[in-house]
Amino acid sequence: MSNRVVNILVPLISVVLGLLVGGIIMVVSGYDAIDGYIALWNGIFGDAYSIGNTIRQITPYILSGLAVAFAFRTGLFNIGVEGQLLMGWLAAAYVGYAIEGLPRIIHLPLALLAAAAAGAFWAFIVGFLKAKLHVHEVIASIMLNYTALYLTNAAIKSLSDGSFKTPTVLESATLRNQWLREITDNSSLHLGIFVAILMVVVMWFILEKTTRGYELKSVGFNKNAAEYAGMNVNRNIILAMTISGVFAGLGGAMEALGTYQNASIKAAASGIGFDGIAVALLGANNPIGVFFGASLFGSLKYGALNMPNAAGIPEEIVSIIIAVIILFVASGYILRVALEKFGKKKEGK
Amino acid sequence: MEYVIEMLGIRKEFGNFVANNNITLQLKKGEIHALLGENGAGKSTLMNVLFGLYQPEAGEIKVRGESVKITDPNKANDLGIGMVHQHFMLVENFTVTENIILGSEPTKLGAINIKDAAKDIAALSKKYNLDVDPYAKIEDISVGMQQRVEILKTLYRGAEILIFDEPTASLTPQEITELIAILKLLIKEGKSIIIITHKLKEIMEVSDRVTIIRKGEGIGTVVTAETNPDQLAELMVGRQVEFKTEKGEAHPTEEILNIENLIVADYRNIDKVKGLNLSVRRGEIVGIAGIDGNGQSELIEAITGLRKIKSGKVTLNGKDITGLKPRDITETGLGHIPQDRHKHGLVLDFPIGHNIALQTYYKSPISKGFIMDYRKINEKARQVIEEFDVRTGQGEMTPARALSGGNQQKAIIGREVDRDPDLLIAALPTRGLDVGAIEFIHSRLIEQRDKGKAVLLISFELDEVMNVSDRIAVIYDGTIVDNVYPKETSEQELGLLMAGEKRKAKAIKEGNE
């Protein structure tokens, strides 16, 4: 079996197997699996409104996935995407409502830039600690996740005079777009998806086309060889982390300027950053792969919301089913080995 | 005729690649049987089949005349087959006894019974003249001693058939002599031995018969006494091989590298290079001879900028490079074939083509400032691959990991030589390579010398140092203890110098004269 075929078959079979096991779970718990999956399907693709909201859900996943994947490709585990995303979220919201009188063509990019810078700064701290003081990036970034959560909460509180959310971003800074809303039956689809797709290209370009990308990958794969070749390992670690933070920060901007139009106090992390780890792994840390991984992840997440209403399946069961499907996709490696064995046996005969 | 092991018509495939095809190896009781072949010829695969790590696609294995299926190493152990690996499988901070019983600890009332085990091991050690202290810690004993621990481990588990994988790779000449004596004693005690190697000299000295494989195919078995190294080399490579690389006189000119009172510490901050002085001139190959661990690695890393220099001065091309960054040193005219090709030499996950750009990626024409020109990289890579005979599956896009050791090494040498550096440091450039590749690499080093460049060769192989160098600097305990000339020295003298016995070495030399 050729590699290409295996590469396409593995995710497909994984999804089918995941759906099967998810179905079994529904049946065992006493629900109609067919009804459940019809509800899931309709929740994702049922009408223009669902499609619009599904795409809206996918958008931040693409960016958090890119953030994790970029770090992985350069030899780092950025588990701090969550915190970087929250920082970007607040920065975008603040610039979005606090700066008045700018035309949209300046204000919107400025708000996006602020989010990117905030995420980058939060990630830079992690990279700096790792490069200069050998603090492991996982520890630093986990701690900074908490810091970001409470810092943004406190900031929102004081910015809004004790309320739980910032003022709504101005018309000149929003990612909302009337036309997109109209064609999707008033869903909350916004322009962010184009930003996300652009970033997919940007990540690919940095890694595959630039001199710096060559260095970043070398440092990621083999620090010793990079040092031997005269690369500055520490500077590249800091840079890799910072670029990863840019993607994460933009993920926050999608929520601030697109979906919610503000930043609000959160009891716990948004989860988008952590889900980014799964998205990156689903996409094999490849920018195009991340796009598809995010699409699967976002679709299931959004579509599943329809299952309690349309099929009467409790949310908890729905969460289990979604988790099972993702688990199967993520453990594609096992399937890959099985397929290769199967392929070899067939060739032998 | 009694065979203890018969591997008949073994075939092993990995995907579409046939690693072993129709190979037959028959081991007589009480013989030393050499398994000879180039790197990647399939020697290790064949032995891993025998040791139960791989299952063959076709063929039959008989142990003492009975057909068996060896499903895993435990089964091999039960059949009395033991393996002494090239890279020892020992726990550094355990004692000899603890290492030997690891995995099959004898117990007394539920507690490990070290005492009795140590007694058994001491007895075994005495029987085979191994001279191993059962209570010594692995980290405190020499590499040669560690190998004996590995031998004891197999004997302790009742092995009758011992497989040695490249056993002399990391030993000193004296240790090799001792190992050969041990092998002969093992035979005398009724054991049978398979030894994997590509060192023809050792085969001639120690083996009774030789089985040769080439590119996965069994070529045949010859009786050692009826053959000679030339014939063996030809059988192994498939063409005639020159052993002593032809080279003319050296014509050294101006000094290119000068090292004064260099002191370098290792990662534990213990001084490894202790006030070393060395000078290398254009047009000569200087070989650093020494036993592993006498400061060679630290010396190279200090010259190339990979390790901090405590004190002293390094001058390259008239420029003080002490404490400069690796890239600045490279640009001053240094090429470096690193000791560990996987650690420093290659990014294994990159295609081989991208690896060939590793030292020049930031410069025109490959880099246009911000953007890389991957077309230029591939052009360059194809040229180097062609010129240095790097055998790849998919040309420059082959992952570096997929290349055999010899071809990885050729790619690195190609990359470094192609830049035409004034000083080329070659650290263990032929480690683990077969005679064909060694011949090629040696001739490239000599070619650099003849072009008026300087070469600093670091090697643990005496043959290599003697054959290739114009001058030999012997390193012992972090200093150069003597400079000798290949024509005027002997392996014995070098061996003693390397062991720090300078006075004895002198006595021998004077005695000879």
pLDDT of residue B300: 95
Q: Do domains B3-237 and B255-333+421-512 have the same CATH topology?
A: yes
Distance from CA of A193 to the nearest CA of B (A): 27
Task: Give the separation between CA B400 and CA B354, rounded to whole angstroms.
Answer: 9
pLDDT of residue B302: 96
pLDDT of residue B245: 67
Query: What residues contact residue B288 under an 8 Å CB cut-off, 6+ apart?
Result: B296, B299, B456, B457, B458, B459, B465, B472, B473, B474, B475, B480
Closest Cβ–Cβ partner in B336, B354, B371 for A209: B371
Which residues of A are less than 8 Å from B372 in CB distance?
A: 209-211, 213-214
Walking along chain B (513 residues) 10 residues at a time, the average pLDDT comes out as 88 83 92 86 87 90 91 89 85 90 80 88 89 88 86 90 85 82 91 88 89 89 90 82 74 93 90 94 95 89 94 95 94 94 91 94 88 92 92 85 85 94 94 80 93 94 89 94 91 85 76 61
Distance from CA of A334 to the nearest CA of B (A): 18
**Domain extents in chain B:** 3-237, 255-333+421-512
Closest Cβ–Cβ partner in A218, A230, A348 for B327: A230
Which residues of B are less than 8 Å from A228 in CB distance?
A: 304, 306, 326, 336, 338, 344-345, 358
Task: Give the separation between CA A277 and CA A64, rounded to whole angstroms.
Answer: 8
pLDDT of residue A284: 84
Reported ipTM: 0.82
Looking at CATH, the fold of the domain delimited by B255-333+421-512 is given as Rossmann fold (3.40.50)
DSSP B507: H
Task: Give the separation between CA B125 and CA B111, rounded to whole angstroms.
Answer: 24
pLDDT of residue A349: 39
CA-angle at B56, arms to B50 and B62, nearest 5°: 50
Determine whether the interchain pair B367/A211 forms a contact, defined as Cβ–Cβ distance below 8 Å: yes
Q: Does domain A48-304 have CATH number 2.50.20?
A: no
Determine whether the interchain pair A225/B347 forms a contact, defined as Cβ–Cβ distance below 8 Å: yes
pLDDT of residue A98: 94
Task: Give the separation between CA B334 and CA A151, rounded to whole angstroms.
Answer: 51
Please choose, from the candidates B15, B348, B48, the residue with its C-alpha nearest in 3D space to the C-alpha of residue A340.
B15
| C-alpha dist (Å) from residue A194 to A54, A189, A333 | 14, 11, 32
Locate B328 and state its tokens. Answer: 């600045």
DSSP B149: H
Please choose, from the candidates A323, A250, A238, A299, the residue with its C-alpha nearest in 3D space to the C-alpha of residue A50.
A299
For chain A, say whether B336 makes contact (Cβ under 8 Å): yes
Task: Give the separation between CA B471 and CA B456, rounded to whole angstroms.
Answer: 10
All CATH 1.10.3470 domain ranges of chain A, comma separated, are 48-304
Options 3.40.50.300, 1.50.10.10, 3.40.50.2300, 1.10.3210.10; CATH of B3-237: 3.40.50.300
Return the residue in B372, B377, B397 with the most chain A beta carbons within 10 A, the one to mutate for interface testing: B372
Which residues of A are less than 8 Å from B375 in CB distance?
A: none
Determine whether the interchain pair B327/A217 forms a contact, defined as Cβ–Cβ distance below 8 Å: no
Distance from CA of A281 to the nearest CA of B (A): 18
pLDDT digits (tens, 9 = 90+) for B380-407: 999 999 998 888 878 889 899 888 788 8
For chain B, say whether A337 makes contact (Cβ under 8 Å): no
pLDDT digits (tens, 9 = 90+) for A286-299: 999 999 989 988 99
Determine whether the interchain pair A228/B344 forms a contact, defined as Cβ–Cβ distance below 8 Å: yes
Distance from CA of A131 to the nearest CA of B (A): 17
Query: What residues contact residue A105 under an 8 Å CB cut-off, 6+ apart?
Result: none
| Chain A residue closest in CA terms to B346 | A225
pTM comes to 0.78
Query: What residues contact residue B133 under an 8 Å CB cut-off, 6+ apart?
Result: B96, B141
pLDDT digits (tens, 9 = 90+) for B63-119: 998 999 998 888 998 999 999 987 788 888 899 999 998 877 887 877 888 888 899
Ranges of residues in chain A whose predicted pLDDT is under 70: 1-4, 333, 340-349
Task: Give the separation between CA B488 and CA B131, rounded to whole angstroms.
Answer: 35
Determine whether the interchain pair B361/A211 forms a contact, defined as Cβ–Cβ distance below 8 Å: yes
